Structure 1
Amino acid sequence: MKKLALAVAVPLALFGAATFYTSTQVESTARDAVDQANVKLREMSVGAGADVSLKLLSFDRGLLSSAARYQIDVEVPDDEGNTKQYSVILQDRLEHGPFPVSRLARGQLMPVAAQSHFQLERTPLTEKLFDAASGETPLVGDVAIGYDGGQSGELRSAALNMQNEDGTVRVAAGTVTFDASKDATDVRMDGELPEVDINLQRSDSGKPVRVSLLGFGLSIDKQDYADGFGEGPSAITLERMEIQAGDEPAVVIQKASIDEMLSRGNRGLDQTFAYRIGEVSAQGQTLRNLVVAFSLRNLEESSVKALVDSYKEILDSSPTPQDALASMTDAQQQELQALALQLLEHNPTLALDEFGFETAHGAARLSVVLDLRSPSDDAFTPDVMITSMLASLKAEAGIDKSLVRDVAGLIAQRQQGGAQADSGAVQQQVDATTELFSGVAINTGWFQLQGDRLASSLHYANDKVTLNGRDMSVQEFIGFAFGSVQGAGLLGQ
């Protein structure tokens, strides 16, 4: 019997000691978390036109749990140069580790330093949100704080239904899950907002405007944050957006996304951005696979950091980014220029990897790759500096004539009254526009006709230009370019 009592008492004593020790550390952990959050918020807010900060208002420590209140302050400059401040308050109940009851109840047996349960507090500023949430708390969250300083958890927003004299806004319940290591060196985040529906009355015409968003998503997976740069992808996605004004046909956008990726290659940082839309429908016409993708490659990391830090200091020197840029001193401009030239010493690459779209019958694509270098010492004028900075260029373009016809048809129909337009007159205008565009593209020498596709290829390197297989010097190319554009009547007189 004594052995049984001892077998029970020892674990209980150890658990009690661990819980008591953790309770003495929770407040310092909370304050450290606030300090780290302010560092990240400061980095994010520079240049964004608003300052965001977090502070711990109170902390009441108990044996098994503690209560805390945090205040989030947002300062936003107005058009008159003044600063408006908005504050929201979060209430937090912190269960002490190593085994908070709420985690044990969910079968989560991994020991943690604390388990946070926070929610938005009702204040005059947030009162309308509480009313719109129909008795629910608009924002709640659960965060597990590990002994290693890492944090993981979930944020949840309630469904909101807001109404006033201008219309209604309905937002479905959303969630964000995240996992961050100590000092946020590794961050993973996934967010989902199923639906947003906006019905408003236009102030200028009085017509109703409806905007519907479906399937909004956010994902971030960044590792090895060093000097403000984290490797990995991030994306914002939208399944469908519909915009309708009055009785006009709706504009429908489907499968839209913004994708970003940062990686470290053999020659430095490589970063890509891509804006994609699967389909856009308007006025009975559909465009598909719209994409704008560009990249910055071979960026020397310390040079990039120095340039970014200098730019942030300039933006931080005035109440708004616009004021900061307008009041830049000669010394600041020279410093930015020197840092930019230092970045060029490592021969970075700037690329428009793809710009294009498709219609029902054709496609258009364009890509441009620029290899850069430090300008020569005698490059004192802008045109000479640009030429000196360009080590090589490669551009490829292709446009189907059937796509030109589709676009011309859309323009002609709108110009001649939409659905009421005379089909014969529209067809006549479409034929004329297609042939005019194709003729100008070919006759100027910029494009060649390959089947039913207008194609162009431009290469530059070692002071030699090759356009569609024709070699010429830089001076000859400049003369050709100005001559062809003027010959097409694009420069007027």
Structure 2
Amino acid sequence: MKKIALAVAIPLVLIGGATVYTSTQVESTARDAVEQANIQLREMSVGAGADVAVKMLSFEGGLLSSSARYQVDIEVQDSDGEPRQYAVLLEDRIEHGPFPVSRLTNGQLMPVAAQSHFRLERSAQTEALFEAASGVNPLVGDVAFGYDGSQQGALRSAPLSLENEDGTVLVAAGSVNFEVADETTTVRLEGQLPEIDMNLQRRDDGKPVRVKLSGIGMTVDKHDYVDGFGQGPSAITLERMEIQTDNNPAVIIKKASIDEVSSRSSGGFNQSIAYRVGEVGANGQSIRNLALALSLRNLDESSLKALLESYKQILDSGATPQEALDSIADAQQQELQALALQVLEHKPTLALNEFGFETANGAARLSVVADLQAPSAEAFTPDAMITSMLASLKAEAGIDKGLVRDVASLIAQREPQYSADPAALQQQADLTTELFSGMALGAGWFQLQGDRLASSLHYADNKVTLNGQDMSVQEFIGFAFGSVLGAGLLGQ
């Protein structure tokens, strides 16, 4: 019997000792989490037009649990560019490890240092949110802190019903699951917001406007996250967006996304971002597969970090970012230029990987890849600097005549004389297509390949190749200037 009692008592004593030890470490764990959050928030806020910071207001320790209060300070610019400050409060109940009761009741047996349960505190700033949530707390969350410094948790928002003189906004319940590991060098996040339905009226004429968004998602999967740079993808997706004003036909957007990917290679740091829309439709007409994809490759991280830090300091030097940029000192501007030159010395590549869209009868695509370099010391004028910065360039463009005809028809439909006469509409669309094609071919920028207008431009070693024809830079400048004059784009 004594052996059984001893076998039970020993693990209980060990767990109790671990709990007492953990209770002495919880406050430092919470403060470290706040400090890491501020670092991440500051890095993400550069150029975003908003500053967010978290601070701990109080901490009350206990044996099995502790309580804390935090303040989240938010500064954004209003429509006039003036800064506006907001502050929201969070209440936090922190269960001590290694085995918090809430985790055991949910079947989570892995020991953790602490389990946080936080929620939005009711205040004058958040009163409207509590009313919109019908008295339920509009924002709650949980975070498990591992002994290895990892964090894993979830953030949940309640359904909201907002109403004022401008109309109503209904927001479905949303959630964000996140994980931070490997001493904050790994960040994973997945968020979902099923629906936002806005029924408003315009202030100028009182006409109704309805905007409905469905299937909003967000994902982040970054590793080797150091000094604001991490490898891996992130994305924001939207399944469907419907916009309707007054009695006009609704504009429907399907399958929209913003996809970003960062990586490291032997050439340096690489980042790409792509904006895509599966379809935009209105009044029986649609445009599909819209894409704008950009990338920067072969960036030197240390030079890029120094450039961003200098830019960040300049933004912080004024009451607002715009005021800081308007009053930038000569020394600050020279420092930025010097750091930018350091980035160029690593010979980065700037690319418009894809820009285009499709209609029912054709497609248009454009791609541009530019290899950059530091300008030569002899380049004193802006034109000479730009020319010497460009090591090589490759551009490819293609436009189907069917797409030109579809777009011309869509534009002509807005005119009463064509919208009521299909034959006249077809004739006008054909005429516009042939006029556009003739101008493109006559100017020499495009060649006709079947039913497609195609163009290819290459530049390297002070030589330009346009659609297979070689010429010097001076000859190309003369050709380009002549084509602009011939088109009448500069007037007389």
TM-score (norm 1): 0.97
State the Cα deviation string for residues 452-473 of structure 1 (Å, max 9, x = none): 0001111111111111111111
Instruction: After TM superposition, list the pairs within 5 Å mapping 1:119-198 onto structure 2.
Output: 119-181=119-181, 183-198=183-198
Instruction: After TM superposition, list the pairs within 5 Å mapping 1:345-384 onto structure 2.
Output: 345-384=345-384
Distance in 1 separating the partners of 2:291 and 2:212? 22
Name 1:425's counterpart in structure 2: 424
1:203 to 1:83, Cα distance in 2 relative to 1, 3 A? closer
Secondary structure in structure 1 of the residue aligned to 2:413: helix
Name 1:290's counterpart in structure 2: 290
Q: In structure 2, give the amino acid aligned to 1:428.
A: Q
Name 2:389's counterpart in structure 1: 389
Contact 2:83 2:320 in 1 (8 A): no
1:446 to 1:83, Cα distance in 2 relative to 1, 3 A? closer
Q: Which of 247-256 and 425-434 deviates more?
A: 425-434
Unaligned runs of 5+ in 1: none
Q: In structure 1, give the amino acid aligned to 2:305.
A: K
Name 1:436's counterpart in structure 2: 435
Contact 1:156 1:174 in 2 (8 A): yes
Distance in 2 separating the partners of 1:491 and 1:431? 27
Instruction: After TM superposition, list the pairs within 5 Å mapping 1:17-36 onto structure 2.
Output: 17-36=17-36
Distance in 2 separating the partners of 1:417 and 1:323? 51
Q: In structure 2, give the amino acid aligned to 1:11.
A: P
Number of corresponding residues: 492
Q: In structure 2, give the amino acid aligned to 1:311.
A: Y
Q: CA deviation at 1:84?
A: 3.5
Distance in 1 separating the partners of 2:299 and 2:210? 44
Distance in 2 separating the partners of 1:136 and 1:234? 32
Instruction: After TM superposition, list the pairs within 5 Å mapping 1:52-63 onto structure 2.
Output: 52-63=52-63
Q: CA deviation at 1:135?
A: 2.7
Instruction: After TM superposition, list the pairs within 5 Å mapping 1:22-421 onto structure 2.
Output: 22-76=22-76, 83-181=83-181, 183-416=183-416, 420-421=419-420
State the Cα deviation string for residues 185-215 of structure 1 (Å, max 9, x = none): 1100000000000000111121100000000
State the Cα deviation string for residues 233-256 of structure 1 (Å, max 9, x = none): 110000000000000001100000
Q: Which of 202-211 and 168-177 deviates more?
A: 202-211
Contact 1:49 1:320 in 2 (8 A): no
Distance in 1 separating the partners of 2:410 and 2:450? 24
Q: CA deviation at 1:182?
A: 5.4
1:454 aligns with 2:431: no
Q: Which of 329-338 and 448-457 deviates more?
A: 329-338
Q: In structure 1, give the amino acid aligned to 2:440.
A: A
Q: CA deviation at 1:490?
A: 2.3
1:417 to 1:293, Cα distance in 2 relative to 1, 3 A? farther
Q: Which of 251-260 and 334-343 deviates more?
A: 334-343
Contact 2:139 2:155 in 1 (8 A): yes
Contact 1:47 1:320 in 2 (8 A): no
Q: Which of 430-439 and 47-56 deviates more?
A: 47-56
Distance in 2 separating the partners of 1:172 and 1:80? 31
Contact 2:82 2:320 in 1 (8 A): no
Q: CA deviation at 1:446?
A: 0.6
Report the aligned-residue RMSD.
1.5
Q: In structure 2, give the amino acid aligned to 1:361.
A: N
Q: CA deviation at 1:77?
A: 5.0
Contact 2:40 2:228 in 1 (8 A): no
Distance in 1 separating the partners of 2:182 and 2:121? 28
1:86 to 1:402, Cα distance in 2 relative to 1, 3 A? same
Distance in 1 separating the partners of 2:46 and 2:459? 39
Contact 1:94 1:117 in 2 (8 A): yes
Distance in 2 separating the partners of 1:220 and 1:331? 38
Distance in 1 separating the partners of 2:272 and 2:417? 42
Distance in 2 separating the partners of 1:368 and 1:136? 52
Q: CA deviation at 1:312?
A: 0.9
Contact 1:416 1:426 in 2 (8 A): no
Contact 1:77 1:319 in 2 (8 A): no
Q: CA deviation at 1:417?
A: 7.0
Distance in 1 separating the partners of 2:463 and 2:406? 37
Distance in 2 separating the partners of 1:19 and 1:319? 47
Name 2:466's counterpart in structure 1: 467
Distance in 2 separating the partners of 1:48 and 1:464? 40
1:287 to 1:80, Cα distance in 2 relative to 1, 3 A? closer
Q: CA deviation at 1:439?
A: 0.2
Q: CA deviation at 1:82?
A: 6.2
Distance in 2 separating the partners of 1:82 and 1:445? 49
Q: In structure 1, give the amino acid aligned to 2:87.
A: S
Q: CA deviation at 1:67?
A: 1.4
Q: In structure 2, give the amino acid aligned to 1:60.
A: E
TM-score (norm 2): 0.97
Q: CA deviation at 1:340?
A: 1.1
Q: In structure 2, give the amino acid aligned to 1:166.
A: D
State the Cα deviation string for residues 295-329 of structure 1 (Å, max 9, x = none): 11111111111111111111111121111111111
Q: Which of 344-353 and 60-69 deviates more?
A: 60-69
Unaligned runs of 5+ in 2: none
Q: In structure 1, give the amino acid aligned to 2:439.
A: V
Contact 1:217 1:236 in 2 (8 A): yes
1:230 to 1:298, Cα distance in 2 relative to 1, 3 A? same
Contact 1:48 1:321 in 2 (8 A): no
Secondary structure in structure 1 of the residue aligned to 2:377: coil
Q: In structure 2, give the amino acid aligned to 1:429.
A: Q
Distance in 2 separating the partners of 1:132 and 1:210? 19
1:76 to 1:442, Cα distance in 2 relative to 1, 3 A? closer
Distance in 1 separating the partners of 2:222 and 2:292? 23
1:417 to 1:179, Cα distance in 2 relative to 1, 3 A? farther
Q: Which of 163-172 and 58-67 deviates more?
A: 58-67
Q: CA deviation at 1:23?
A: 1.0
Distance in 2 separating the partners of 1:40 and 1:270? 20
Secondary structure in structure 1 of the residue aligned to 2:144: strand
Secondary structure in structure 1 of the residue aligned to 2:414: helix
